[in-house]
Amino acid sequence: MKSLRMAKRHLPKFLESLGKWGKVYVPVKLGKNSYRWEEFDGEVDNIALDALRTVIPAKKFFYKPREVMFEYDKTNGYTQACAECEEDVILFGIHSCGIHSLETLDNIFAGKYVDNYYFTRRKNITIVGTSCMPDKHCFCKSMGADTVDEGYDIFLTDLGDDFLIGVGSSKGDDIVNDNPDIYEEVDESTTKRYLEFRNKRDESFELVLDTSDLPTILDFQYDNPLWDELGERCLACGSCSMVCPTCYCYNVDDTINLDSETGERWREWDCCLFRDHALVAGGHNFRENQGGRLKHRYLHKQQAYLGDFGRTACVGCGRCIVACPANIDYVECLKAMRGEMTSA
């Protein structure tokens, strides 16, 4: 861990240098009020540095919405298809919650059966994080994901005229050593401004969720009628899951070609709010109604994952709140379960 500072005017040079380590991806503005990860086009002005949440989070770089796992052939057997697996990718502009979400996914995909599709890509990805200022939907602080001490190669904190450059890995060190002229040592003023930034950001959180004792409370609230009320509003459209940086469920399906000899095995993002998710042979469904499916999602984030890995699976990015057409609000719902007055 070392810290440097870089004047903002050097950002183009910094990004140019990043290009030596692979393809650089940045958040860009999309439509009226959305952002998307896209390949850097060389224009610094096109980077949405103020973007808080892209429509789809960074997970799409390791874990594709729909991808071929392998191709099969009656005579030649299986061929693993992972065309862009060996591509070096640099993510510039991921925030603290995003970096925490990668750790959350790493835990899952490194489980009993290591997921090579995920890790082959993951190891080739360079993480360059940037600081942010929360909006009314951000609750990462409540989820303990508002700051990062590890999990990145470089982290840029916006201090006005310059960035504080946090170097978090040896690859990060290589990157700053590639262009030593643009960095300066931190000084007293940097420290002062950094602490000011931290305090200001800390005070900016409007959305707060008390997570203490939440797993127990959720246990007690298992039969709360609110689950079914929310289930009646839920469209099962899948948006909350698709945009969630820590949702990882997938579905596997085989397709066959007209020759009846060759085909492909696919996997595709799935969602526990879908009817088919808990549907088994014979038409039996473990979660028959929508309220039960919604409850399952919440309980998995705040209870089951925590039991396995010691922290909640939610990083508080606010994407599911923004993306729900029916205005179902994760935080409001959990507040209601805690007995706090809300509009859920």
Binding site for other proteins (CB under 8 A): 30-34, 36-37, 54-56, 60, 65-66, 232-239, 242-243, 253-260, 263, 269, 271, 274-276, 290, 322-323, 325-326
Question: Nearest approach, Cβ of 115 to other proteins (angstroms)?
Answer: 19
Nearer to other proteins, 277 or 335 (CB): 277
Is residue 243 a contact partner of residue 214, using CB atoms and an 8 Å limit? no
Nearer to other proteins, 1 or 83 (CB): 83
Q: Residue 254 is which amino acid?
A: D
Question: Nearest approach, Cβ of 258 to other proteins (angstroms)?
Answer: 4
Nearer to other proteins, 168 or 291 (CB): 291
Nearer to other proteins, 48 or 167 (CB): 48
Instruction: Tally the residues of the chain.
Output: 344
Q: Enumerate residues 6+ apart whose C-beta is below 8 A from 204.
A: 133, 134
Is residue 13 a contact partner of residue 32, using CB atoms and an 8 Å limit? no
Nearer to other proteins, 55 or 336 (CB): 55
- 247 CB burial (10 A radius; 0-12, 13-18, 19+): buried
Question: Nearest approach, Cβ of 291 to other proteins (angstroms)?
Answer: 12
Q: Enumerate residues 6+ apart whose C-beta is below 8 A from 10.
A: 182
The span from the CA of 321 to the CA of 330, in Å, is: 6
Question: Nearest approach, Cβ of 173 to other proteins (angstroms)?
Answer: 33
Nearer to other proteins, 167 or 331 (CB): 331
Is residue 212 a contact partner of residue 338, using CB atoms and an 8 Å limit? no
Question: Nearest approach, Cβ of 46 to other proteins (angstroms)?
Answer: 16
Question: Nearest approach, Cβ of 137 to other proteins (angstroms)?
Answer: 12
Structure tokens at 340: 């706090």
Q: Enumerate residues 6+ apart whose C-beta is below 8 A from 249.
A: 241, 269, 270, 271, 272, 277
Question: Nearest approach, Cβ of 240 to other proteins (angstroms)?
Answer: 10
Nearer to other proteins, 64 or 141 (CB): 64
DSSP β-ladder status, 154-158 and 162-167: antiparallel
